Amino acid sequence: MKKSILLASLFSATFFYACDSGQQETEEGEVEVIAETEEPVAEEIILTPIEEDTQFANAILEQNVPAEGAVLEPGLVPFEFNVKNYQLTEMTKADHATMIANSDKGQHIHLILNNRPYDALYETTYQKKLEPGNYVELAFLSRSFHMSLKHPEAYVLRQFTVGDVPEEEVDLNAPHMFYSRPKGTYTGEGETDKIMLDFYLVNTELAEDGYKVRATVNDQEFMITEWQPYFLEGLPMGENTIKLELLDAEGNLVESPFNPVTRTITLEEGEEVPAS
């Protein structure tokens, strides 16, 4: 905190100060006013819920390969899905499409392995190079602006193994949370004004007196009691850190290999670039 000292006559004009100040009389009859000037305060980050539309309530995601429990060779691993009542690559028609980052490639699938950053799939077949290890896969349908479809038929959860490694089975019937958005770099006013926070829950629901998600954005904490997407506003330019924690009704961290999760995103000035 910086202090500035101002000398003023008893008969001079009245001064107003924007912060707390002190004053004392000197031997010459002058008043010494000490004004405290606060350092600039960071803008408050605001988290507001986004109402989801129900136009895709009948959308279905199915997966053929890898099969549940499959043991695969390291290298390029094939993924094959069936999509019903939902059109990949089509631009989602919704008010939110013009308010947040929106992929110009249209609707897609978010493929998440071991809760790492997702791959965006715009076709039902895909190949990904994988090292030996155990993998838990979550795949779900996504609108063009990366908002997930959250009904049970819109996602697939399974695990498989790549290479000759000891099996480390994860209880897929237990509560889990997976991180989806925000991700990567956001550029220009059209992307940086509002950033969407979206995560995926399986085998659990949120409530005031039940499970909750604690979101810490930079140093600001939010307690989330309803599973839906949210707008983040007031994020500064540069790097921003988002930490998500799934908590039980007593406020304890839920045991899961994917909990908690922390990601860093970047906001930049400049022309808007479509996010993947």
| List of E strands, 150-208 | 155-162, 176-181, 185-187, 194-202
- Residue, of 274 and 68, whose pLDDT is higher: 68
Residue-level pLDDT at 165: 94
Contacts of 171 (CB under 8 A, 6+ apart): none
Cα–chain-centroid distance for residue 16? 43
Query: Does residue 272 register a pLDDT over 90?
Result: no
Residue-level pLDDT at 28: 52
Q: Match 């136009």 to its residue by tokens.
A: 55
Rounded to 5 degrees, what are φ and ψ at 190?
-65, -20
Out of 12-21, 132-141, 148-157, 211-220, pick the least confident: 12-21
Residue-level pLDDT at 97: 72
Residue-level pLDDT at 129: 98
Mean pLDDT taken over the chain: 87
Q: Which two tokens stand for residue 245?
A: 């924690």
Alpha-carbon distance values, 20 to 26, 36, 77, 186 (Å) = 20, 6, 65, 39
Convert the pLDDT of each residue in 116-165 to its tens digit.
999 999 999 999 999 999 999 999 999 999 999 999 999 999 999 999 99
Q: What angle do CA 43, 47, 174 make, to 5 degrees?
A: 135
Cα–chain-centroid distance for residue 8? 52
Residue-level pLDDT at 8: 31
Query: Does residue 275 register a pLDDT over 80?
Result: no
Query: Does residue 247 register a pLDDT over 80?
Result: yes
